[in-house]
Amino acid sequence: QQGQSQLDQKKLYNQNSEKMSDRIHTFGDMRNNAGNNNRGGRPAGGGSGPSGGQQGQSQPLIAGRISNPRNETFWDMLKFNFCPTFSIRSFIFIVSILDIVMYIATLAYDGVDKEGDFLEPTNKALDKFGQKDPYKMKHDPEQVYRWFMPMFLHEGLAHIMFNLISQMIFGFWFEALVGTVRVAAVYLVGGIGGILFSALVSNSNSVGASTAIFAILGGMLAWLLLNWFYLDPNIRCQMSCILIVVLLLNFLFTLGATNVDNYGHLGGLMTGFFVGLSVLKYPPGEINMFGLPIPQYQDPHANPDRKWEKYWQISGYVCSFMFYVGGFVLFYTVRHPDE
């Protein structure tokens, strides 16, 4: 009888444990299954209203697919917390690999600068691979590659690590949201715009993906502005606060630094915003990289006749055209960079 009693208690304990495990919800329970049996987790798309959630519940804009947390590896934890939308088929992943390859190539070409920072390529190697040099960019037409190669070069291990982390955190999320073509346009065109702006006002040589990263931040600002009335109010607040804090911290920490190209950062942010206004407006029924419709929150207080959105798009095209055409004309006619 005592043995039977212990067996019954063990069964009761196991049953209670199963019930408790069904009630506990963690980050792993956010796994998206297109709305079927979500067990209390949240879907990948977000927003409130008919297409974003039930009974006005605020939902996250994007949540990556993730396994049960009880079976997670350390890599799964890092991916979910820092890059939940990580994908090796994404544009950001390809660009990040290219950054690493170019960094290794510059080190292999001429070794390490013994007087520089840790694992810093020599100036000879960076110049050979196409760092921003306004004098050579103007007086040698064959070196047109200097308008885009600086985005893929870095001057030290700390430099490339910081840029890669920033690029992946913001880039993967943004690409999952707006698509590969759009994020590639903002990254590349905005990055070149940052180099152009820096070449117009500064004689210094520089390298780094920072111009393109700031272009992504500018594109995020444009996306937020264009789609303001389609976003859940909580998401508007979260994104606005994140962008403001990130931009303020970046400019405050780099203000006055002699080895940071702040003109390139500012130019990338500005041109990324212009390009973003041009290409980041969602048409109805847009599908994200998870194959799911992007949530559309309808603000009950918004004017349904949103002609101003078209005006913003038109202004984006006009400003982009004027900046690039005017910038290159000024550089090759009026600008006289020092050697």
* Catalytic sites, residue numbers: 210, 265
C-alpha 151, offset from chain centre? 15
For 208-239, letters b (16+ CB in 10 Å) and e give: bbbbbbbbbbbbbbbbbebbebbbbebbbeeb
Quote the CA–CA distance of 135 and 98 in Å, as a whole number.
26
φ, ψ dihedrals at 19, nearest 5°: -65, -45
Quote the CA–CA distance of 215 and 221 in Å, as a whole number.
10
Query: Please, are residues 106 and 153 in contact by the beta-carbon 8 Å criterion?
Result: yes
Measured torsion, CA atoms of residues 187, 210, 222, 197, in degrees rounded to the nearest 10: -90
